[in-house]
A and B are shown apart, each in its own frame.
Chain A
Amino acid sequence: MAAQLKPGQGPLDYGSRTWLKVLFAVIFFVLYAPIITLVAFSFNTDKRGVVWRGFTLDNYTKAWNNASLIEALTNSLVIAVIATVIATVLGALTALLMWRFRFPFKGAYEGFMALPIVIPEICMGVALLLFFVNSGMMELFVHLPWPLNLGNIIFAHVTFCFPFVAVVVRSRLVGFNRQLEEASKDLGASEWQTFWSIIVPFMKPGLIAGALLAFTLSLDDFVITFFTSGPETVTFPVKVYSLVRRGVSPEINAASTVLIVITVVATVLAMKLQAPPKADKG
């Protein structure tokens, strides 16, 4: 990297200062070393994960054969997929509403929509627990067959995901040229036709990015799920939590690595899609 920087010693060439480069190196090392160690040790033969003894895929086989871990992962994926679909629709509706209309108390409504993003997760978790227990929904869903018994968790996940989707979709809509919509209507298209063949195609990158964001948020959530899940409906993070409490094992490393790969792929995809089509707007 150093070879490509200009020798520039100008007063504002902070980018080429040695102390800054060293600091970057140190901070990135601290940020990544634990994660890289975790991934590396998922391939380690040593059972206690203390020293490197050799490469193996045994931990992955073991994790794969651990029925409760796989069940938790399946639950997490099913919840994430269903919650993503609902959250994307609700988020898109919210974004369209805010983008298209002027209405009384719009500022207050906007603040109200942002509440699930700002309040502490633990407060939302306990509020939903209280609600599900007192409304009888907990009791109702626990006795339903799989995957319906995941209902409560799905409701909870949609609630904290869709405001994020709304933000992403709305930022995409800001770049929309309204003349396209007017042209479409002038040419005789109905409200629905205009929506379906002009606005939706334009929104698509925002919808996909929002959906991927919702998917990662849902897949990653621990705190809210911890409070809303029953004993029979364990998700992957909740399962990993119970394993972590018992100590470090290479099997958790293997399972974590799989989850890291899933979320990183989803995130990088989302970032690619979210990048503005033209030049970056400050």
Chain B
Amino acid sequence: MENWKQNPRVFWTLGIPPSLWLLAFFIIPLGFLFVMSFSDKAMVDGQVSITGYDYLTGITNYIRAFDSLYLGIMWKSVWISALATALCLLTAYPIAFGICFAQDKWKPLLLLLVVLPFWINLLIRTYALIAVFRTQGYVNKILGVVGLGPYEMLYNNFAVIFGLVYVYMPFMVLPLYATIERLDKSYLEASLDLGGSQFQTFLRVTVPLTMPGIISGIILVFIPCLGSFLTPDLLGGANALMIGNVIERQFKAANDWPFGSALSFLLMYATFGALALRYLFTLRSKGVDV
């Protein structure tokens, strides 16, 4: 790698276009959002203006975000995301483990099968779930055969959590697969030789050694779950609101952009917090990075 001073002309030619683009269409928009989050709607002749704003008036929007109503929604977003992440981990771990111990010729195909749904449009996958879970859908039909139901399986928290697991599971499999694949299998043999049961070996050797992959997977799933909008919007109905839906509402129906901006920034801070946690964990378990 050469120092940029050795060839400044090439350095600037390569660096300026992408940096300017990111500045114009990412950093400046975030700046607008930041300013808006500290602003208020302007009052014109004693009435709230629709499009006018008083900029940088204070932190009222952030204070309002900590109303019990919004605090409740934030808490709900966190636990729904946490539960979905945990379920992803429980299903993805055996999958990743199984792929690693499958015969070599099957591995690429199995991995492709796990990853492929991820490439299908999120909206379409969610729509596919709606079709299967609705009252006349297949799940209820099968339950009907055994004399159960029909149940209302959509438009509640169950549907949102199932949808999130369904949609983000591949994100969990990949980092787990990467660490389990690199795990030195002789540790497992050693543990079994020394009299550890399969279960003990799993809990005390495999899990600790694959912790970096587990952490990465948790973060990779938790972040998009927390910020999800489409899944709770389509599967959740009115009483399964998450923070993403509240933000959307502020920018569309409720037309309260300053408040929506403040909520967006809170969501971003939560995301950065999760990323910082991951960074701390990778520092601690140095060496094995995913």
Q: Does A58 contact B (CB under 8 A)?
A: no
1/0 per position for A243-272, CB-CB distance to B under 8 A?
011001000110010011001100100010
Q: Does B10 contact A (CB under 8 A)?
A: yes
1/0 per position for B188-232, CB-CB distance to A under 8 A?
110010000010000000000000000000000001101101100
Q: Are B127 and A126 interface neighbours, CB within 8 A?
A: no
Question: Number of contact residues on B: which range applies?
Answer: 35 or more
1/0 per position for A1-33, CB-CB distance to B under 8 A?
100110000011111000010011001101111
Residues in A208-258 with C-beta less than 8 Å from chain B: 216, 219-220, 222-223, 227, 237, 240-241, 244-245, 248, 252-253, 256
**A/B pair count, beta carbons within 8 Å:** 227
> Which listed segment binds A: B40-48, B57-65, B66-74, B93-101?
B93-101
The dominant DSSP class at the B interface is helix
Given contacts A23-B98, A31-B169, A33-B132, contact A127 B127 (CB under 8 A): no
Residues of A near B95 (CB, < 8 A) are 23-24, 27
Other-chain contact of A267, B116, B124, B229 (Cβ < 8 Å): B116
Other-chain contact of B130, A122, A128, A248, A267 (Cβ < 8 Å): A248
Question: Number of contact residues on A: which range applies?
Answer: 35 or more
Q: In the complex, how many angstroms separate the beta carbon of B211 from the nearest chain A beta carbon? A: 18
Complex Cα spacing A191 to B8, Å:
13
* CB pairs A–B below 8 angstroms (20 shown): A12-B188, A12-B192, A31-B117, A33-B132, A89-B17, A93-B18, A101-B2, A119-B268, A120-B224, A126-B251, A134-B32, A155-B25, A162-B18, A191-B7, A227-B251, A237-B121, A244-B130, A248-B134, A256-B121, A263-B120
| Residues of chain A whose beta carbon lies under 8 Å from any beta carbon of chain B | 1, 4-5, 11-15, 20, 23-24, 27-28, 30-35, 37-38, 41, 48-50, 89-91, 93-94, 96-97, 99-103, 112-113, 115-116, 118-124, 126-131, 134, 155-156, 158-159, 162, 166, 191, 216, 219-220, 222-223, 227, 237, 240-241, 244-245, 248, 252-253, 256, 259-260, 263-264, 267, 271, 282
